[in-house]
């Protein structure tokens, strides 16, 4: 998963840009649905975003931490245990995508996306979809371009969704 043959564009530039685009989509749909205002009001907070300048180290550090825990520790370990040790190399792609898909669902399911849709309906759907795309995108990028690309994707997303949107 190191992918030394790929250049910086494949490892950093494109994933960062794709993450920023996804963050912009989430931001744009939220400006239309006002979903974060609803969530902030329910939690008695002025915003769901951490205020500048603390937003930068907190969200960027969080992006790296989430990527490492879910997609650099758990995914390779489970892949190795199942595909390499148990199945002796058979079905390696299916194992990767099955384990990766299950891990991609952990964050959206544990952060209340499903409950939010049940409680608030369509206004919560775009955010839930963006959460899923963020996590599945990281699984795809980890396999295609490595850990740095997966981190860059989430950092690009957080840069727009949490840092820039928090400044608006």
Alpha helices in 67-124 (DSSP H): 75-79, 92-110, 113-120
CA distance 123 to 135: 20
Residue count of the chain: 168
Dihedrals phi, psi of 88, to nearest 5 degrees: 55, 40
Q: In terms of C-beta density within 10 A (0-12 exposed, 13-18 middle, 19 or more buried), how is residue 2 classed?
A: exposed
Cβ-based neighbours of 11, under 8 Å, separated by 6 or more:
3, 145, 146, 148, 149, 152
What is the pLDDT confidence band of residue 88, given thresholds at 50, 70 and 90?
Answer: confident
pLDDT tens per residue across span 98-150: 989 998 888 888 877 777 888 888 888 888 899 899 999 999 998 888 888 99
CB 83 within 8 A of CB 92: yes
- pTM of structure: 0.85
pLDDT tens per residue across span 48-84: 776 788 778 778 888 888 888 887 888 888 888 998 8
């Amino acid at each position: 998963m190191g992918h030394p043959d790929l250049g910086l564009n494949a490892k950093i530039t494109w994933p960062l840009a794709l993450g920023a685009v996804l963050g912009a989509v989430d931001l744009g749909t939220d400006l239309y649905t006002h979903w974060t205002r609803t969530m902030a009001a329910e939690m008695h907070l002025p915003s769901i975003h951490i205020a500048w300048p603390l937003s930068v180290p907190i969200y960027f550090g969080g992006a790296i931490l989430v990527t490492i825990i879910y997609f650099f520790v758990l995914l390779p370990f489970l892949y190795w245990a199942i595909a390499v040790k148990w199945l002796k190399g058979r079905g390696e792609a299916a194992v990767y995508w099955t384990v990766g898909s299950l891990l991609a669902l952990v964050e959206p399911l544990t952060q209340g996306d499903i409950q939010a849709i049940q409680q608030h309906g369509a206004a919560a759907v775009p955010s839930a979809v963006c959460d899923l795309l963020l996590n599945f995108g990281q699984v795809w990028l980890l396999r295609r371009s490595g850990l740095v690309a997966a981190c860059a994707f989430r950092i690009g997303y957080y840069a727009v969704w949490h840092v820039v949107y928090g400044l608006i």
